[in-house]
Amino acid sequence: MMRVCCDQRELHRALQLVGRAVPQRPSHPVLSHMLLLADAGGGCLRLTGFDLEVGIESQVHGEVEQPGMVCLPGRLLMDLVSRLPADGRVTLCGDNGPQVWLEGGGGQRCLLIGEDAEEYPDLPRLSSGATQWVAAADVVQGLQGTLYAVGKPQPDLSPHLGGVRLSIWGEGCEYVATDGLRLAVVRRGADLDDQGKGIRATVPGRALRELLRLLAGCSAMDQVRVSYWDGLMVWVVGTDVVSCRTLQGEYPAWDKAMPKRFAQSVKLEREALIAALAFEAAYAVSHSNNVVAVTLLPDAGRVLLRAETDQGWGEHPLAAEVVTGQSVTVALNVRYVLDALRSMACREVWLQLNGQMGAAVIEPVSEGEASQRQQALVMPVQIGGAT
C-alpha cells in the first residue's frame, strides 16, 4: 500500500540526481530500480539509487496519504516523470504489491511494475565515526582542482590512484590526486593535525564526480556534512546524500614528489596560456603524443610554445615576466597542462621548472587568502617520446 502526491519539478530533480546511481548494465536486475519510501511522519517521498559502489539518496516534500515502500524501474520512472507537465502534481499510488500507478495532473495515468522493496540491497550505514562540516564552495574548489588527475582504470594501475586522497581537519582540508604522470593538490587552512583527529581517506573519483554535480546547485553559504567510519564515506547536502566505500591501500608519498625550489619561474596570464596551448594542441594531438615544447627566453621576456609533426609545425610566443633562471626547453603533455590550467580560477599563474628533465609545477598567482594553495605537477616528456 502506498499513496503520495508531490510537485513534478521537485520529483524530476530528485530522480535525475538519484538516477546517477542506477546502472545501465546492472549486475543484478533489482539494481536497475530505485527504492521509493513514502514517509508519513516526515511528510516526504524518499528515493534511493545504489549500484553497490555509490549510493545516492534524496527526498521530495509531499502529501503522504498512505505510507509504503516499493522498487520501481529507475530509467522508466525518470522518463515518464520528465514528460509530465512541469507545473503539475504527480501521484504515486498502489495497493497490489510492487505495482504502482503514476498519475499526472493532466489526467495522465500509467502502471509501473517493479520489485518488492525487500529485494533491494541495504546501503551501508554509519554507526559512529568522525564528522566534519565544510563549506560547499571549498569542496567544489578542492574537487575541481584535483579530479582531473585521478587515474583512469587500467590493469596495471594501483586501485587507490583511482581516487582523491582527502584530509579534513579542524579549520583545514587537503585534496590530492595523481595518476603517476601528474599530481594535483588543493590545500586550505591551518596545518594538518598530527594527532589523528579529523578525516583521512582515499575516495573513488566516480563518487566525488557525483558529489560535484550535486554541489553545482549549492550557494556559497551552503555547508556539507562529511562523515567517515570504517571505510564508509558519507556526504550530506541538505536532504541529499552521497555515500561510498573508500579505497584501500597506502597512498603514495606525494609530498616527496613536489619540488620545494625551482631553477626557473615564469608568470603568465592564464587565459592567454590556455589559448596558446589550445592552438598548439592541433599539432600535438594529431601526432598522438600530445607533446608541446615550452622554451623560456629570459632575454626576450617571453615563452615560446612549439609543436611539430611530419605534417608541419606551429609555434606561439607569449609575453611573460621571467622571474628567475636561464633559458631552457622542456617538453610537456599539452592535455595535462590544459587540464591543470582549466581547473584554476585566477588571472595569472606561475610556471615553475627545474631544467629540461625536472617536473613542471603550475600554481595560481596568489590573489586571495594566503592559507589557500593549489598546485599542479606535470612530469616532462623526452623529446620524441610519448606519454
Per-residue pLDDT at 154: 74
| In a shared domain, residues 141 and 208 | yes
- 3-state SS, one letter per residue, for 256-272: HCCCCCCCEEEEEEHHH
- 3-state SS, one letter per residue, for 34-81: EEEEEECCCCEEEEEEECCCEEEEEEEEEEEEECEEEEEEHHHHHHHH
| In a shared domain, residues 172 and 191 | yes
Q: Is 224 helix (H, G, I), strand (E, B) or coil?
A: strand
Position 386 in a domain: no
Per-residue pLDDT at 386: 42
Question: What range defines the domain where residue 319 resides?
Answer: 264-378
| In a shared domain, residues 226 and 269 | no
Over residues 170-183, the mean pLDDT reads: 92
Per-residue pLDDT at 163: 96
CATH number at residue 144: 3.10.150.10
Per-residue pLDDT at 193: 53
Would you say residue 3 has pLDDT above 60?
Answer: yes
Per-residue pLDDT at 367: 66
Per-residue pLDDT at 198: 84
Percent of the chain with pLDDT over 90: 75
Position 42 in a domain: yes
Specify which of 152-156, 177-181, 321-325 reaches the highest per-range mean pLDDT: 177-181
Closest listed residue to residue 316, CA positions, set 304, 298, 302: 304
Position 207 in a domain: yes
| In a shared domain, residues 178 and 249 | yes
Q: Are 235 and 199 in contact (CB under 8 A)?
A: no
| In a shared domain, residues 279 and 298 | yes
From 59-63, 141-145, 289-293, 368-372, the region with the lowest mean pLDDT: 368-372
Over residues 380-384, the mean pLDDT reads: 77
Q: Are 191 and 169 in contact (CB under 8 A)?
A: no
Over residues 203-208, the mean pLDDT reads: 96
Residue 44 banded pLDDT, cuts 50, 70, 90: very high
- Indicate the pTM of the whole model: 0.90
Per-residue pLDDT at 337: 97
| In a shared domain, residues 65 and 152 | no
| In a shared domain, residues 22 and 103 | yes
Q: What is the pLDDT of residues 214-272, one digit of tens each?
A: 999 888 789 999 999 989 999 999 999 999 999 988 898 999 999 999 999 999 999 99
How deeply is 16 buried, as exposed, middle or buried, from its count of CB atoms within 10 A (0-12, 13-18, 19+)? middle
Choose one of 119, 152, 170: the last residue of a domain.
Answer: 119
Choose one of 119, 138, 167: the last residue of a domain.
Answer: 119
Would you say residue 374 has pLDDT above 80?
Answer: yes
Choose one of 206, 225, 256: the last residue of a domain.
Answer: 256
Position 385 in a domain: no
Per-residue pLDDT at 270: 97
| In a shared domain, residues 185 and 214 | yes
Would you say residue 205 has pLDDT above 90?
Answer: yes
| In a shared domain, residues 248 and 275 | no
Per-residue pLDDT at 387: 43
From 56-65, 194-203, 274-283, the region with the lowest mean pLDDT: 194-203
Position 110 in a domain: yes
Position 383 in a domain: no
Sign of CA dihedral 259, 263, 266, 271: negative
Over residues 300-323, the mean pLDDT reads: 87
Per-residue pLDDT at 166: 95
| In a shared domain, residues 71 and 102 | yes
| In a shared domain, residues 343 and 303 | yes
Position 365 in a domain: yes
- Locate 179 and state its grid cell: 595518476
From 65-69, 210-214, 278-282, 283-287, the region with the lowest mean pLDDT: 283-287
| In a shared domain, residues 351 and 312 | yes
Q: What is the pLDDT of residues 133-150, one digit of tens each?
A: 999 999 999 999 999 999
The pLDDT mean for the chain works out to: 91
Q: How many domains does the chain have?
A: 3
Over residues 165-183, the mean pLDDT reads: 92
Percent of the chain with pLDDT over 70: 94
Per-residue pLDDT at 368: 60
DSSP secondary structure string, 158-215? -GGGGEEEEEEETTEEEEEEE-SSEEEEEEESSPPPTTS-SEEEEEEHHHHHHHHHHH
Residue 385 banded pLDDT, cuts 50, 70, 90: very low
Would you say residue 195 has pLDDT above 90?
Answer: no
Q: What is the pLDDT of residues 362-371, one digit of tens each?
A: 999 986 665 6
Position 384 in a domain: no
> Given 3-state DSSP classes, what are the helix, strand and coil percentages for the chain, each rounded to the nearest 5?
20, 45, 35
